[in-house]
Amino acid sequence: MGQTKIKVAVAGASGRMGREVVKMVLADPELELVAAMDRSTKNTDAGRLVGLDPCGVMVTNDLELTLVETNPDVMVDFTTPQSAVVNTALAIKHKVRPVMGTTGFTPEDIEALDKQCKAAGIGGLIAPNFSIGAILMMKFAAQAAKYMPHVEIIEYHGDQKLDAPSGTSVKTAEMIAQVRGELRQGNPKEEETIEGARGGYYDGFRIHSVRLPGIFAQQEVVFGAFGQTLKIRHDSYDRAGYMPGVNVAVKKVMTYAGMVYGFEHFID
């Protein structure tokens, strides 16, 4: 077809998500890996880093210098919350479109970065979750809540996860709350004899966080009505499951200007 490849840089390339992104980019004929950055690894071939044949792109540890030298179209970033805002601003400064899987942005950060993207005439994306299945689960839950407002969320993660409830369950709760008036569920005389037994309270309903070894990521949204229940559940088994979403994001971010918050905006 003679179509120009999208040049991609990966920040946090030696991390668990970063390695999956490197593999995904190398496997897609429409994408070209031009840079891989990581603070803890350098002078290693990015292909070799992810267990593939050498690809000729060496991992570097200077983000800005690498962006200047390789001139990518898009930077995919799975680094740390501490560096998320700085990395995004650096990418925009050099007219590289940021696709951020890293968390740690305040609403004020997102607004400022949106202005910077628009001024540079480029698109950007900040996405707490790239799993297409998880996004669909949230959208379906919000749709169901219009008709079945009695709901509880149960989310399961490994025991090393630091935050509870998960970002995905909070985002789901926000989407449900937008379409459902606050409704205090259950018996008004209900009493917890063990504190926390009913889970965390959000806008009239409950979120329960399970933390156990052997679990990767799973969420269930349970709706109850007279004589029936509806369960919408999503299970993640592997980080590779997020890569189709990252792939869509890399291609979509080339088509607009401004910073989009949330991958769900890319799914109609």
Catalytically active residues are 157, 161
DSSP state of 264: G
Residue 74: its H or E element: strand 74-77
Q: How many CB atoms lie within 10 A of CB 8?
A: 28
Q: For the purposes of burial, counting CB atoms within 10 Å of the CB of 238, is it exposed (0-12), middle (13-18) or buried (19 or more)? A: exposed
In one-letter notation, the amino acid at residue 117 is C
3-class state of residue 68 by DSSP: helix
DSSP state of 151: E
Long-range contacts of residues 59-65, Cβ cutoff 8 Å, at least 24 apart: 59/13, 59/14, 60/35, 60/36, 61/37, 62/37, 63/11, 63/37, 63/87, 63/90, 64/90, 64/94
